[in-house]
Chain A
Amino acid sequence: MGLRGLFASWKSVAAALAALVALGPAQAQREGGAHIAIACGALGIELELCRDAAQEWAAQTGNTVEIVNTPNSSSDRFQLYVQLLSSQSADIDVLQIDVVWAGMLQSHLADLEEPLGDRVDAMFPALGANNRVNGKLVAVPWYIDAGVLYYRKDLLDKYGYAPPKTWDDLTRIATAIQKAERAEGNGRLWGYVFQAKAYEGLTCNALEWVASHGGGSFLGLDRAFTADNPQARTALNRAAGWIGTIAPRGVLNYDEEASRGVFQTGNAVFMRNWPYAWALAQGAESPVRGKVGVVALPKGPDGKSAAALGGWHLAVSRYSRHREEAIDLVRYLTRAEEQKRRAIVGAYNPTLTALYDDREVIAANPFFATLYPAFENAVARPARPAGARYNQVSDAIWRASYDVLQGDSKAGPALTRLEDEIARIAYRARWSEQAE
């Protein structure tokens, strides 16, 4: 290909690009109303629920709405958002964001305090606390998640135990049942499975252990370095003691699905997981169907239960050209009627506390009532104080926890190192020079 040929092909590429770019606005100006693009999750029934509701809103208000496809992997989705938002793109008006992104994306999101602050006040308190960053409300919680304890009702009944209230109870019951069942020839049975792979899920588990022992959440809301304290050491050392005794060594490579696999095939007495596992454990094909119970996670020595807060929220881009309409869509999607529909059709846990008294919601999902205390006791991961550095802080937390669980290090030195790492992150982020 000569120089001319090269230019010709350049031209065709440029033309194709121009055509692509022209598509956007052409679509937007189809009708009189505003055109709102919403990026919502696409896992399972999620996309359908989102599309139906958004189109309902569009039909009622005379606007148009477009569902933007986003990657399923949460870290890929985060990267896409960052790319779009840091180039101040107006391509997406409404974004579905993870609970821990509030701090990382806050500079790009519109303040929703004035239009929707009241509604957030009617939700679980941990949610509002998580989403009010730098004096503005960055997102409206859409559905909530929190760590819960699953247990085998049949096994606990068989040996005459009540569901554990404290971590000591859990360790004791798990050890006893595991020993008794193994003696009866059930050699594959383990006492407790959870998420100990080196990833975000371990940060959630470690936070639950430490917070329930009164050891804080690794980084204070005022950005104080609180990782290394006696309670946190006790909590992590206790968890390390489970590995190889009541939990298989393989738990060091378990994420949510791997631990659900062990529990659902009937090979574990207890499991820590998110509420989604309930519907699957009680599904038609599940070997443990009808034998499963859910309670709030055990309490620490000072009598507090802590569940890592999860869930997804709706935010409005600061660069949206139709902010009013976008906010209205968020208002529509997060209202009680819509959350109720999502709870009944898709078993998404509502963020509005009042819906847990709703008879239809409870009738469709009886276990929601048992989840309520877990949501009320939810602790946020240190996303708000860590802000844009949350990924880094979380990475440091799960690496330190993993070292302890694996037996490479005792909790003391690991937590000292963790605090040192957080100090490094803080220095790079210049936290000391800026108020939160």
Chain B
Amino acid sequence: MSRRSAIDAARARSAWLFVTPMLVVLAVVAAWPLARTIWFSMTNATLVDLTTYDFIWFDNFVVHAEGRWYGIFTDPQWLRALWNTLVFAAVSVSLELVLGVIVALIVNASLPGRGLMRAAMLVPWAIPTVVSAKIWQWMLNDQFGVVNAMLEGAGFTDGPIAWLGGSSLAMVSIIMVDVWKTTPFVALLVLAALQTLPKEIYEAAKVDGIHPVKVFFKVTLPLIKPALVVAVIFRLLDAMRMFDLVYVMTGSSEETMTLSVFARQALVSFQDVGYGSAASTGLFLIIAMITVIYIMTLKPLGQEKAA
């Protein structure tokens, strides 16, 4: 018995030995910055002088003073950014999911040149976001952009469209570029799931003469659901903190400003460390909340399957 516990203890020790570096790294690169941001979100620190600031509790979030409401939760610009972010996340993730599954089904079929297609499919995803954002910004330019030239040449439009000019078109353009860029990621995850599916089921379905569409909804979709769940959570978290695409393509314009762009503007352009940290913390809380709700609603599904 004692011998056994000695071995256990030794094993536990070596386990800790292996885990400790990771914990230290996590503490340094994740926990510490997060804690510091949350701390700063309750101060009125500015970059002008980072050494002197007051602790103001939740005044950066919401406070009623001098007959008005203040704080990010009552700031029209922040609320606008929240709305933009939610619209962007909902629309782009839905489109990517549908298109990703379609693309995955196509490249999963045994067609000639399948390997080439799978490689080509990944190109948009492999280009760094800032680079593709800049490319798209030029392609969508109203004066010399190739997209307008093509549309005009084909006779669809008779004047240049200001894709990224101040209107709802800017958000449409950004969603379009994000879908172009990240559909391959979803497709890749779905493709991996499709390849693990047992062939016998499909043969059985074929023998029974079931319509392929019905097979997809009754067989394929339920079987690749775990992969879709993972894809959605990855994409949703990514979309909620969307920064680079928006910042490069339309800067700090109000029409497309996301929560991350808002936080950057407050922190860097306005040097308002307290307010910017509050905006970041707000975003962190929202993402945490979405993750928790998502996992909670999906849990019954997993248990059902286990049972």
Residues of chain A whose beta carbon lies under 8 Å from any beta carbon of chain B:
75, 79, 82, 86, 104, 107, 198, 252-253, 388-389, 391-392, 395, 399, 402, 406, 417, 420-421, 423-424, 427-428, 430, 432
Residues of chain B whose beta carbon lies under 8 Å from any beta carbon of chain A:
44, 46-50, 60, 65-66, 68, 70, 75-77, 162, 165-166, 253-254, 265, 268-272, 274-275
Are B70 and A392 interface neighbours, CB within 8 A? no
- Taken together as a complex, chains A and B put the C-alpha atoms of A162 and B271 apart, in Å, by 47
Are A430 and B253 interface neighbours, CB within 8 A? no
Are A428 and B50 interface neighbours, CB within 8 A? no
- Taken together as a complex, chains A and B put the C-alpha atoms of A420 and B69 apart, in Å, by 10
Are A427 and B65 interface neighbours, CB within 8 A? yes
- Taken together as a complex, chains A and B put the C-alpha atoms of A402 and B271 apart, in Å, by 23
Are A427 and B68 interface neighbours, CB within 8 A? yes
12 pairs, A vs B, C-beta closer than 8 Å:
A198-B166, A388-B46, A392-B272, A399-B254, A402-B166, A406-B166, A423-B68, A424-B68, A428-B60, A428-B70, A428-B272, A428-B274
Which residue on chain A has the smallest CB distance to residue B274? A428
- Assuming the A-B contacts A427-B65, A428-B44, A430-B44, are A86 and B50 also in contact, with contact meaning beta carbons closer than 8 angstroms in the complex? yes
Give B168 Cβ to nearest chain A Cβ, in Å.
Answer: 12
Are A82 and B166 interface neighbours, CB within 8 A? no
Are B254 and A392 interface neighbours, CB within 8 A? no
Chain B contact residues: helix, strand, loop or mixed: loop
Are A107 and B268 interface neighbours, CB within 8 A? no
- Known A-B contacts: A86-B47, A406-B166. Give 14 more (CB < 8 A): A82-B47, A107-B48, A107-B49, A198-B166, A198-B253, A253-B162, A388-B271, A391-B271, A402-B166, A420-B68, A423-B66, A424-B70, A427-B66, A427-B70
- Taken together as a complex, chains A and B put the C-alpha atoms of A86 and B265 apart, in Å, by 19
- Assuming the A-B contacts A107-B49, A406-B166, are A392 and B270 also in contact, with contact meaning beta carbons closer than 8 angstroms in the complex? yes
Pick the most buried of B166, B253, B254: most chain A CB atoms within 10 A of its CB: B166
Q: Which residues of A contact B269 (CB under 8 A)?
A: 75, 391, 395
Q: Which residues of B contact A82 (CB under 8 A)?
A: 47-48, 271
Q: Which residues of A contact B165 (CB under 8 A)?
A: 252-253
Q: Which residues of B contact A395 (CB under 8 A)?
A: 265, 269-270
Give B17 Cβ to nearest chain A Cβ, in Å.
Answer: 14
Are A428 and B49 interface neighbours, CB within 8 A? no
Q: Which residues of A contact B75 (CB under 8 A)?
A: 424
- Taken together as a complex, chains A and B put the C-alpha atoms of A86 and B220 apart, in Å, by 60
Which residue on chain B has the smallest CB distance to residue A406? B166
Give A427 Cβ to nearest chain B Cβ, in Å.
Answer: 5
Give B297 Cβ to nearest chain A Cβ, in Å.
Answer: 37
Q: Which residues of A contact B65 (CB under 8 A)?
A: 427
Are B48 and A104 interface neighbours, CB within 8 A? yes
- Taken together as a complex, chains A and B put the C-alpha atoms of A428 and B65 apart, in Å, by 11
Pick the most buried of B49, B75, B162, B254: most chain A CB atoms within 10 A of its CB: B49
- Taken together as a complex, chains A and B put the C-alpha atoms of A359 and B60 apart, in Å, by 58
- Assuming the A-B contacts A423-B68, A427-B65, A430-B44, are A79 and B268 also in contact, with contact meaning beta carbons closer than 8 angstroms in the complex? yes
- Taken together as a complex, chains A and B put the C-alpha atoms of A293 and B253 apart, in Å, by 35
Q: Which residues of B contact A420 (CB under 8 A)?
A: 68
- Taken together as a complex, chains A and B put the C-alpha atoms of A78 and B77 apart, in Å, by 24
- Assuming the A-B contacts A252-B166, A424-B75, A427-B70, are A388 and B48 also in contact, with contact meaning beta carbons closer than 8 angstroms in the complex? yes
What are the 9 A-B residue pairs with the smallest beta carbon separation, nearest first?
A392-B270, A427-B70, A388-B48, A391-B270, A82-B47, A424-B70, A391-B269, A428-B275, A86-B49
Q: Which residues of B contact A79 (CB under 8 A)?
A: 268
- Taken together as a complex, chains A and B put the C-alpha atoms of A240 and B265 apart, in Å, by 27
- Taken together as a complex, chains A and B put the C-alpha atoms of A423 and B60 apart, in Å, by 14
Q: Which residues of A contact B254 (CB under 8 A)?
A: 399
Are A432 and B272 interface neighbours, CB within 8 A? no
